[in-house]
Amino acid sequence: MSNLVVVGTQWGDEGKGKIIDILAEGADIIARFQGGANAGHTVVVGEEEFIFHLIPSGILRAGKQCVIGNGVVIDLKDLVEEMDYLKGKGVKFDKNLFVSENAHLTMPYHKILDQIIDKRRGKGRLGTTGRGIGTTYSDKTARVGIRMIDLLNKETFQHKLEINLEEKNYLLEKFYNRDGISKEGILEEYLSYGEKIKDCVTNTSRLLNQAIDEGKNVLFEGAQGTLLDIDFGTYPYVTASNPIAGAACTGLGIGPTKIEAVLGVTKAYTTRVGEGPFPTQFSPEFEEEIRLHGKEYGATTGRPRRCGWFDAVIVRHAVRVNGLSSLAITKLDVLDDLEKIKICVGYKHQGGILEDFPALLQVVQQCEPVYEEVEGWKEDISRVKDYQQLPQKAKRYLERLSELLNTEISLISVGPKRDQTITLKDLIV
Ligand code: GDP
Ligand code: IMO
Ligand code: MG
């Protein structure tokens, strides 16, 4: 039995989708525990590309069960569309997708309000994905949210919808000067989604715990990344959930004693989409070069991702808050052509060196990265299948990262495809 949590260690888009797809081969169940349709996980199988927002990428593997846990916020319109998109690409949904009855729903007003609120922030905007994530989680903690199970009970749904619309329409019409939303349209649309999805809705905590007791292998799939964590990220430039490993427990209803290992997915450089501090960001010209080479455009919004050098300060922070047992280093091939590669090993601040990521954003903004430089390998590594075949200088780069992070590397990805993966240690046994 191996129960493994997979999390992002930077600002998201580390390549979690690909790594989950690789590991899913040896797993029985793949379960998402937080976030919502803000996620965009790309998996390439042969010549075909699949983009996932809510459904675990494990659905591509026949015979696996996939779970969307209570910690995920679900936009049913997106979920139904995603299922149709995958069906169109040949994916079969046959008792292999389970949705938690406790998961909260992202409603149309959540999306509208998210977009209005972020726009009104002006210069201080977070650059959210506009998918209604923050507004759904706000309602969840305000105890006015609508859960999956509520939708399946028409009276409860109607009652909760009325209460919510009264407040949201007041806000939209009186405060934001927009049109309100009619109850009838939503009611009909959502009840029809409920009909489509009802057979998937269940007590997923029980399902997972039973599977674990039977000795099955469960993979816990994180979305976003540690520096986007509401508690441990670059607040307020973060998402509204906890993408860190501990959230696998609260987001799925499994106890910490059931988790055996935590894998951190780490890009060989750094990217960030949306606003907020980014100490190692490249100069605009070089950023464009790496962006093109690494195809760094958001899978959900299509926005260009900001790119920078590997930052060991943020990943060390991720090692600690996630209790990482090992690392998967992705997109190493993107650095193939570089003469020299920089690694940020610390932050210079007021004459001293900070080793921990500062909590105060003003301090982050005043920090100057301290770089170490290593030589690039200047070779195409995208066909390498075995660690020993990697150029010496690429191995040196990886060893240095592992040393700085005090964590072993178990996987290396050298391209988007399944066979562009070097396994150093089997994580699912
Ligand atoms: P996620 O959100 O963490 O799942 O990451 P995304 O899917 O948003 O972004 C990662 C992108 O890089 C996707 O387009 C992947 O197909 C691609 N990718 C993943 N691993 C590699 C790799 O090792 N090399 C290259 N060149 N691309 C990769
Ligand atoms: P995956 O799972 C990268 C970012 C947004 C914005 C901030 C808040 O593909 O790694 P939100 O819509 O969540 O309220 O936006 O978080 N963000 C992501 N960035 N990858 C993601 O997901 C992200 N999900 C949210 O760009 O800066
Ligand atoms: Mg992504």
Which entry of 21, 41, 110, 317 is annotated as an active-site residue? 41
Rounded to the nearest angstrom, the distance between the alpha carbon of 304 and the centre of ligand 1 is 14
Rounded to the nearest angstrom, the distance between the alpha carbon of 373 and the centre of ligand 3 is 28
**Chain-centre distance of CA 230, in angstroms?**
13
Phi (first) and psi of residue 152, to 5 degrees: -80, -5
For residue 39, give the ligand 1 atom closest to its CA: 2
Residue 134 in contact with residue 116, Cβ under 8 Å? no
For residue 131, give the ligand 2 atom closest to its CA: 12
Scored b (16 or more CB within 10 A) or e, 6-24 reads bbbbbbbbbbbbbbbbbbb
Question: Does 13 participate in catalysis according to the annotation?
Answer: yes
Rounded to the nearest angstrom, the distance between the alpha carbon of 167 and the centre of ligand 2 is 27
Pairing of β 97-100 and β 201-202: parallel
Domain boundaries, the chain: 3-98+203-423, 104-200
Ligand 1 pocket, residue 416 CB under 6 Å: yes
Rounded to the nearest angstrom, the distance between the alpha carbon of 419 and the centre of ligand 1 is 14
Query: Which pTM was predicted?
Result: 0.97
Residues 309 and 281: their CA atoms lie apart, in Å, by 7
Indicate which ligand has the atom closest to the C-alpha of 136. 2
**Chain-centre distance of CA 138, in angstroms?**
19
Residues 401 and 54: their CA atoms lie apart, in Å, by 31
State the sign of the Cα–Cα–Cα–Cα dihedral 242, 243, 249, 252: positive
DSSP string for 125-158: -----SSSHHHHHHHHHTT---BHHHHTSHHHHH
Ligand 1 pocket, residue 131 CB under 6 Å: no
Residue 422 in contact with residue 412, Cβ under 8 Å? yes
Q: HSE (CB half, 13 Å, CA atoms) of 202?
A: 13
Out of 14, 18, 49, mutate this one to test ligand 1's pocket (max ligand atoms within 8 Å of CB): namely 18
Ligand 2 pocket, residue 38 CB under 6 Å: yes
104-200 CATH choice from 1.10.300.10, 3.40.50.300, 3.40.50.720, 2.60.40.1150: 1.10.300.10
Indicate which ligand has the atom closest to the C-alpha of 264. 1
Residue 382 in contact with residue 415, Cβ under 8 Å? yes
| Structural domain 3-98+203-423, CATH architecture | Alpha-Beta Complex (3.90)
Burial of 243 (0-12, 13-18, 19+ CB in 10 A): buried
Ligand 2 pocket, residue 6 CB under 6 Å: no
Question: Does 75 participate in catalysis according to the annotation?
Answer: no
Encode the chain (429 residues) as per-residue pLDDT tens digits.
589 999 999 999 999 999 999 999 999 999 999 999 999 999 999 999 999 999 999 999 999 999 999 999 999 999 999 999 999 999 999 999 999 999 999 999 999 999 999 999 999 999 999 999 999 999 999 999 999 999 999 999 999 999 999 999 999 999 999 999 999 999 999 999 999 999 999 999 999 999 999 999 999 999 999 999 999 999 999 999 999 999 999 999 999 999 999 999 999 999 999 999 999 999 999 999 999 999 999 888 889 999 999 999 999 999 999 999 999 999 999 999 999 999 999 999 999 999 789 999 999 999 999 999 999 999 999 999 999 999 999 999 999 999 999 999 999 999 999 999 999 999 988
Length of the chain: 429
Percent of residues in the chain assigned helix, strand, coil, to nearest 5: 40, 20, 40
Indicate which ligand has the atom closest to the C-alpha of 49. 1
Burial of 205 (0-12, 13-18, 19+ CB in 10 A): middle
Residue 424 in contact with residue 389, Cβ under 8 Å? no
